[in-house]
A = this chain, B = another copy of it.
Amino acid sequence: MFPVLYAVFMSSVLPPFPQPQEPVDPPRLLEVEPGPGEPCLRADAARNRARLLEAAARLIAEHGVAGVTMEAVAAAAQVGKGTVFRRFGDRTGLLMALLDHSGRQLQADFLGGPPPLGPGAPPLERLRAFGVAVLYRSAEQLELQLAAQPEPTRRYAHPAYQALRTHVVMLLRQILPDGDCDLLSHPLMAYLDPGLIHHLTRQRGMPMERLETGWTDLVARVTGTEPPR
């Protein structure tokens, strides 16, 4: 539960990142900068947002994700139920917000961190590293990742998903200038789906090492390159 609490800690201490309001689209992972034009939250709203995230993290630690009821969170944060929904849109939005910190971290790593994840390494190596990173990140927060999954209709259009996939597409284009990288990115992303990881590791007892070599194998096949070593 440490990662969650840490994320929340950061969320409450750093200047609150405004959550979009109108058609509440969850944490836009792509914009690293809050942007100057972003409508900043009112003081009370920001305070309540932090308290809600903290309360949610506490509930997860105590009763698991299933214990994160919108009413329970509201009560634990001593806030009205409506407030939770206004801030996060829906339950999924709240859960995604809890994952926001590690998501930004990951994105920062592959956008500007050190190789092989970040720029500098050849794209094929970056792609391998990317998969491994996502794999382990998901495995660490499996329960939360599973619960935060949006319904299938919105999943693929969701900013958080798109952010990751866009990166895969970029790398693929460098490796396969002539391939339909937009399409090819999907089976690659699917291999990293938290639901699949859950199934393979928890329900079928596969060790993470096998998933890892499975990823490099898949990457090699899809890109038509030689597997490493």
Contact A191 B186, CB 8 Å, known A149-B152, A221-B224, A224-B221: yes
Secondary structure at the A interface, as helix, strand, loop or mixed, is: helix
Q: Which of A182-223 contact B (CB under 8 A)?
A: 183-184, 186-188, 190-191, 193-196, 198-200, 203, 210-211, 213-214, 217-218, 221-223
A221 contacts which of B198, B199, B221 (Cβ < 8 Å)? B221
What is the bound-complex CA distance between A184 and B198, given in angstroms? 16
Instruction: Assess the A218–B187 pair: CB atoms within 8 A.
Output: yes
Instruction: Assess the A153–B187 pair: CB atoms within 8 A.
Output: no
A180 CB–B CB distance under 8 Å: yes
A218 nearest CB neighbor, chain B only:
B187
Q: Name the distance in Å between A211's Cβ and chain B's nearest Cβ.
A: 8
A146 CB–B CB distance under 8 Å: yes
What are the 9 closest A-B residue pairs judged by CB atoms, nearest first? Answer: A190-B190, A152-B195, A187-B187, A156-B199, A183-B214, A187-B191, A149-B152, A221-B222, A187-B190
